[in-house]
Amino acid sequence: MNPAEPTAPPSAPTLCLHGQGIVRGYTIGRAVIMSAASLEVAHYHVGPADIEAEGLRLRHAIDTAVAELRQMAGALPPDAPRELAALLSVHGLLLEDPMLVQSACELITERHYNAEWALATQGQLLVEQFSMMEDAYLRERSADIRQVIERVLRVLSGSSAWLPALDTAQADGNFIVVARDISPADMMRLRSGKFAAFLTDLGGATSHTAIVARSLNVPAVVGMGHVRALVRDGDQLIVDGTNGVVLVNPSERILLEYRERQAAFQRERAELKRLRHAPAVTLDGIQIRMEANIELPDEAADALAAGAEGIGLFRSEFLFMGRPDLPDEDEQYEAYASVVSAMGGRPVTIRTLDIGADKTLDGDATVATNPALGLRAIRYCLANPDMFHTQLRALLRASRHGCVRILLPMISHMHEVRAAQRAIERAAEQLRDEGIPYAEGIQVGAMVEIPAMAIAIEPFAEALDFLSIGTNDLIQYVLAIDRGDKDVAALYDPMHPAVLRLIAHTINVGERVGKLVSVCGEMAGDARVTRMLLGLGLTAFSMHPQQLLDVKKEIRLAHSNALRVQVASALNRAERIDLAALS
Ligand code: PEP
Ligand code: MG
């Protein structure tokens, strides 16, 4: 720091906030507060003299929301899905429905509720009534009611848009989204905006929101607790994604220091790029396979640019999220085929739909008692055979453009493997009968992410062509720690001996029966644990493209066999492994 630099005036102290950094790097920019989409609102009683004004405030907010919807409908691009216009008009109609408006106004006049409380109470009632209806179409409307109420609540809170309109001349376009939480679907929507960083109150490092942020490759800090309450729109922020630190309204001196760190980080990235074509081989000659995780087809280009040898995990569910309908077979086929063709013969591992838990389909009003343990992933697909069949046909059709591998998520029972294999067979037979081409002999593998499967892995390893360890869920289920819950994030411990033993066991059995075992959870892309994974015997990694070179650098400096001896002896004693001591 230059001692001659002016210090900040005492009226603007720099605030320093902490969370979990999930994407390395530094950003300096301006805060954009994302309004909360929640029915949790302030509850207070309005005085008798203010009741009329409160009623008017509610009616005015509803009128504004209706006008917003009309404006959006009028501005839809010609190629927007037809359903979108219909959906906007349904939302407008719901807002004009007396059941909602009048009843909420009555809560203001009769019980003296504030406008937000009245609207949320009436809305909640309607959501419950609709979600219990027998008719599936009406049941789905409960999600629409929730969305329109959230829209009006945003108007009431003074922030009418989901994100405020951005003045792109400001802050050189370096906008930093500050939110209570961002759902994976919202994060996908933010992809198209120009955001330089993300900060959230909630969330853990392996939540799906964090995973999508990583695929955007902009610094992000999650689990910050109160960032949304402490930061105002337009505040200048420094985001240190490497250390999970955010500085609010920093002094000139601090800004200078961070500009230097930013420049050093960029130099380091540029240096790493030279490893792109270097082989991923350890010092003792063990060849390591390095593949990429992607969420959307256009990320195949990032994978290639980072030197990936294939796609180790294509999370197909992101094609299904943030839209009112499901992609049909042709749309899915186009998406899969574009990745397969882009990868030019390199393997592309496409995971069948892993919907459920924090990844929900729009309009799916199902409320699972415990979503992480509920109808998720393969369970959802086997319970919705038509949807599964459509995806399998699309996957098989895409296989003729290169090398497709099908990956089944959340397997716990052998009968699920057999049912999925039969479903693949059926889809193939149908294509054959229709004369539609596909590649024969597609490899079918499964995610190892439920402890039961990892413990009793032998029959799975025999029956499947490959295994891919999903450490994000495996850790969550072994340690009973919700991967998205910031309050228990400190207990989410990838280095727990129980977790490492399950990974080691899976790798050992895979080696014994001659099946490829890779890791595609976030651990694979964390260069701090690369040596440990090599020590467990891992020879195939799949991670976000932007992490590939950091991990490759570690691999090229490691002695795989020596690491195996060290790690095996610690695991035999169920000891914690000291990462710093691994040579
Ligand atoms: C995992 O669980 O480690 C995994 C890769 O799958 P996802 O993060 O999509 O649940
Ligand atoms: Mg998983």
pLDDT in tens, 483-497: 988 899 999 999 999
- Least distant ligand from the CA of 494: 1
Beta bridge partners of 447: 468
Q: Which of 94-103, 144-153, 565-574 has the highest mean pLDDT?
A: 565-574
Kindly tell me the burial class for residue 458, based on how many C-beta atoms sit within 10 Å of its own C-beta (0-12, 13-18, 19 or more): exposed
Q: Which residue has the higher pLDDT, 321 or 258?
A: 258
- Strand blocks (E) in 24-121: 26-33
Instruction: Exactly one of 208, 401, 505, 559 is catalytic; name it.
Output: 208
* Residue 535 beta carbon below 6 angstroms from any ligand 1 atom: no
pLDDT(3) > 50:
no
Stretch 22-39: mean pLDDT: 80
Least confident of 433-437, 497-501, 532-536, 571-575: 571-575
Instruction: Report which ligand 1 atom has the smallest distance to the Cα of 521.
Output: 3
Encoded tokens for 428: 């193939």
Encoded tokens for 60: 């005015």
Q: Which residue has the higher pLDDT, 163 or 77?
A: 77
Residues whose CB is less than 8 angstroms from the CB of residue 211 and which lie 6 or more positions away in sequence, other chains included: 184, 295, 315, 472, 522, 544
User: Which residue has the CA at smallest separation from atom 4 of ligand 1?
Assistant: 470
Torsions phi, psi for 325 (to 5 deg): -125, 180
User: For 107-148, what is each residue's pLDDT tens digit?
Assistant: 999 999 989 889 988 888 888 887 777 777 777 677 778 778
The mean of the pLDDT values for the chain is 88
pLDDT(157) > 50:
yes
C-alpha pair distances (Å), 212 with each of 188, 493, 515: 7, 21, 29
Q: How confident is the model at residue 336 (pLDDT cuts 50, 70, 90)?
A: very high
CA of 206 to the centre of ligand 1 (A): 8
What integer pLDDT is reported at residue 458 of this predicted model? Answer: 98
Instruction: Report which ligand 1 atom has the smallest distance to the Cα of 206.
Output: 8
Stretch 84-107: mean pLDDT: 82
Query: How many Å from the N-terminal Cα to the C-terminal Cα in the chain?
Result: 35
**Strand order in 15-18's β-sheet?**
15-18, 245-248, 236-240, 26-33, 175-179, 195-200, 220-222, 20-23
What integer pLDDT is reported at residue 192 of this predicted model? Answer: 65
CA of 547 to the centre of ligand 1 (A): 16
Q: Where are the domains of the chain?
A: 15-36+162-254, 48-157, 279-581
* Residue 484 beta carbon below 6 angstroms from any ligand 1 atom: no
The residue whose two tokens read 């389909």 is 361
CA of 4 to the centre of ligand 2 (A): 52
What integer pLDDT is reported at residue 370 of this predicted model? Answer: 86
CA of 67 to the centre of ligand 2 (A): 41
**Ligand 2 (single-atom ion) residues, CB below 5 Å:** 449, 470, 473
User: Which residue has the CA at smallest separation from atom 6 of ligand 1?
Assistant: 470
Q: Give, to the nearest 10 degrees, the angle between helix 98-111 and helix 82-96.
A: 30
Least confident of 126-140, 450-464, 529-543: 126-140
Instruction: Report which ligand 1 atom has the smallest distance to the Cα of 474.
Output: 2
* Residue 473 beta carbon below 6 angstroms from any ligand 1 atom: yes
* Residue 470 beta carbon below 6 angstroms from any ligand 1 atom: yes
CA of 11 to the centre of ligand 1 (A): 46
pLDDT(170) > 90:
no
* Residue 207 beta carbon below 6 angstroms from any ligand 1 atom: no
Burial 312-342, CB ≥16 within 10 A → b, else e: bbbbbbbbbbbbbebbeeeebbebbbebbeb
Q: Which of 57, 201, 64 is nearest to 117 (CA)?
A: 57
What integer pLDDT is reported at residue 460 of this predicted model? Answer: 98
Q: Which residue has the higher pLDDT, 156 or 278?
A: 278
CATH number of 279-581: 3.20.20.60
pLDDT(434) > 60:
yes
What integer pLDDT is reported at residue 452 of this predicted model? Answer: 98
What integer pLDDT is reported at residue 38 of this predicted model? Answer: 55
CA of 522 to the centre of ligand 1 (A): 8
* Residue 471 beta carbon below 6 angstroms from any ligand 1 atom: yes
What integer pLDDT is reported at residue 14 of this predicted model? Answer: 86
What integer pLDDT is reported at residue 451 of this predicted model? Answer: 98
Cβ count near 35 (within 10 Å): 21
8 Å CB contact between 81 and 323:
yes
* Residue 405 beta carbon below 6 angstroms from any ligand 1 atom: no
Instruction: Report which ligand 1 atom has the smallest distance to the Cα of 470.
Output: 3
CA–CA dist 406, 461 (Å, integer): 15
User: Which residue has the CA at smallest separation from atom 10 of ligand 1?
Assistant: 473
What DSSP designation does 157 have?
T
Beta bridge partners of 448: 469
Least confident of 26-35, 36-45, 457-466: 36-45
Annotation marks residue 208 as catalytic: yes
CA of 19 to the centre of ligand 2 (A): 23
Percent of the chain with pLDDT over 90: 62
Torsions phi, psi for 117 (to 5 deg): -65, -45
Stretch 504-510: mean pLDDT: 98
* Residue 537 beta carbon below 6 angstroms from any ligand 1 atom: no
What integer pLDDT is reported at residue 454 of this predicted model? Answer: 98
CA of 159 to the centre of ligand 1 (A): 34
Residues whose CB is less than 8 angstroms from the CB of residue 119 and which lie 6 or more positions away in sequence, other chains included: 41, 58, 100, 104, 149, 152, 153, 156
What integer pLDDT is reported at residue 429 of this predicted model? Answer: 98
Annotation marks residue 559 as catalytic: no
Instruction: Exactly one of 381, 520, 544, 559 is catalytic; name it.
Output: 520
According to CATH, the superfamily of the domain at 15-36+162-254 is Phosphohistidine domain (3.50.30.10)
Q: Which of 396, 395, 385, 450 is nearest to 419 (CA)?
A: 385
CATH class of the 48-157 domain in this structure: mainly alpha
What integer pLDDT is reported at residue 182 of this predicted model? Answer: 79
* Residue 201 beta carbon below 6 angstroms from any ligand 1 atom: no
What integer pLDDT is reported at residue 2 of this predicted model? Answer: 44
State which of 207, 314, 315, 318 you would mutate to test the pocket of ligand 1, scoring each by most atoms of that ligand within 8 A of its C-beta.
315
* Residue 482 beta carbon below 6 angstroms from any ligand 1 atom: no
- Strand blocks (E) in 300-391: 311-315, 347-351
* Residue 520 beta carbon below 6 angstroms from any ligand 1 atom: yes
Instruction: Report which ligand 1 atom has the smallest distance to the Cα of 449.
Output: 2
Stretch 473-502: mean pLDDT: 95
What integer pLDDT is reported at residue 259 of this predicted model? Answer: 97
